[in-house]
């Protein structure tokens, strides 16, 4: 499975640990994030992740910034992207089941690495339910 990951300066530490975690599970990682903790503009590192997912170059994306909001807003500007800002496992599960989220946005300042790992596992393993949710998802893109 291919995963694109992007982060700003607030998400660098999380990104390194998440990348290591996924590589141990034999995921192929495409790193679009900064490797530094000096201030950067998050859209520069998030748009490439969204493009990878939208074009099928990656199976899903993980984006990380301080609150997760700016990253998710940037990703959601791309057609076909459904980035979900998740701060707990239940929200993450519903984002996959009901919204067919294809990018997980993590708020580095508000979730621990352990919580991030749990959400990543949930995101990967939870299928989209389809059915009544499919109609709603189809109405997202304008």
* Per-residue pLDDT, 100: 97
Pairing of strands 103-107, 60-65: parallel
pTM: 0.97
Among residues 14, 47, 78, 98, which one is catalytic? 98
Cβ burial, residue 127 (10 Å; 0-12/13-18/19+): exposed
| Domains located in the chain, CATH noted | 2-138 (3.40.1400.10)
Q: What's the distance, Cα to Cα, between the start and end of the chain in Å? A: 29
* Per-residue pLDDT, 142: 72
Q: Is 47 an active-site residue?
A: no
How far is the C-alpha of 1 from the C-alpha of 124, rounded, in Å? 10
pLDDT digits (tens, 9 = 90+) for 44-59: 999 999 999 999 999 9
Q: Do the beta carbons of residue 59 and residue 2 sit within 8 Å?
A: yes
* Opening angle at CA 16, ends 18 and 43, nearest 5: 90
Integer CA distances (angstroms), 53 to 30, 37, 81, 106, 115, in order: 11, 25, 7, 17, 23
- Determine which helix (DSSP H) or strand (DSSP E) holds 122, and give its type and residue range: helix 113-125
């Amino acid at each position: 499975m291919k995963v694109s990951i992007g982060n700003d300066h607030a998400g660098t530490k999380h990104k390194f640990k998440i990348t290591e975690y996924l590589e141990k599970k034999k995921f192929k990682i495409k790193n679009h994030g900064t490797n530094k903790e000096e201030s950067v503009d998050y859209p520069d590192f998030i748009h490439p992740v969204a493009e990878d997912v939208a074009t099928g170059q990656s199976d899903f994306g993980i984006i990380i910034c301080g609150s997760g909001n700016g990253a998710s807003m940037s990703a959601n500007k791309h057609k076909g992207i459904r980035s979900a800002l998740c701060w707990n496992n239940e929200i993450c599960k519903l984002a996959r089941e009901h919204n067919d989220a294809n990018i997980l946005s993590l708020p580095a300042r508000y979730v621990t690495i352990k919580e991030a790992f749990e959400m990543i596992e949930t995101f990967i393993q939870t299928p989209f339910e389809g059915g009544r949710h499919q109609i709603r998802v189809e109405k997202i893109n304008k």
